[in-house]
Amino acid sequence: MNKEFKANVSPCTVTEEELLLINKLTVKELKAEEVFTFKVILCDNEVDRDCERFDIAALEKLAELFVGVTGIFDHNPCGGNQTARIFDTECETSKDKVTSCGDSYVCVKAKAYMPITGKNADLIAEIEAGIKKEVSVSCAVSSFTCSVCGGDMRHGSCGHIRGEVYGNRKCHCILSDVTDAYEWSFVAIPAQINAGVTKGFEKEYESTDNLIKTVRDGRCVKFTSEQAKELCSYITRLEKEAEDGRLFRKSLTDDTVRYALLAVPELDADTIRNLCYSAETAELINIKNAFRSKASEFIPLTPQLKAKKEKTQTDNNEFKF
């Protein structure tokens, strides 16, 4: 699940202490005039548009994990896309700002660097001009806690719905237990106004078939509106196919009964229909064909006056008694 926020990207002057941190990540020791550095807010503890938020422990873990992580473009993980690297992070608590939950606002601030080269000249100019200022990060989260009851929202152990109000509390999901930080990216269109984050985690299911298997296993699941639309479309398609199957089955049963009565007059229609209902469709097709073949021995099943595709003789035998 991806989330992107408008980030506060701003150039800064590298200090001697920061240059030491940068050179811990480089192969060749760089000088201050050889690097361009900038600050960026990666993520925070505000409830976002998807009604989710990081807890403080998650932000502290992200600050730890993102040191040394590379920056790319649009989450495209190829070597040629690497453009910058984070060399320092911190969790910063605002004294004046509070979140919608009434907590002190906390964000992860990072410092990144890139070499000053001809290749990076345009990107540096765009950062300085405020053009490149939206970023997002990709990380793994393993805990999804309901803000109302404390249940696991991913596995559906509670019945609360994100965004719904229970009493005076708006339900949201608390993201915690961060296990990894993958990368951070410059992106074109942010989803929200604060610092940017793309939260990644192991999907409970990736297809409709997996969803159905999860339900059959007796587990409750919750999914997005897009996944709900996909499931509804899948059910609608199944209903149409089922109706087509019922019509085909009825036609097949009627044919089987007709041929059976012709082939074995001693049988009655109800007995034959009961036989048809208990048979699988493939078996019913074989039964129908067997009765049809037997019936054709007694009564011609093809009209006598049916025109032939090819006329092989001209003696008018078709019209002789």
Answer yes or no: do 76 and 108 share one domain.
yes
Answer yes or no: do 90 and 133 share one domain.
yes
Residue 23 lies in a domain: yes
pLDDT band at 40 (very low <50, low <70, confident <90, very high): confident
Answer yes or no: do 144 and 266 share one domain.
no
Of the listed ranges 19-28, 96-105, 174-183, 184-193, the least confidently predicted one is: 184-193
Tally of domains in the chain: 2
Residue 219 lies in a domain: no
Residue 317 lies in a domain: no
Q: Does pLDDT of 221 surpass 70?
A: no
Task: Report the percent of the chain where pLDDT is more than 70.
Answer: 74
Answer yes or no: do 111 and 254 share one domain.
no
Residue 109 lies in a domain: yes
Of the listed ranges 1-5, 164-168, 254-258, the least confidently predicted one is: 1-5
Answer yes or no: do 59 and 155 share one domain.
yes
pLDDT for the residue numbered 12:
74
Answer yes or no: do 93 and 144 share one domain.
yes
pLDDT band at 159 (very low <50, low <70, confident <90, very high): confident
- Length of the chain equals 321
Q: Which domain holds residue 96?
A: 5-206
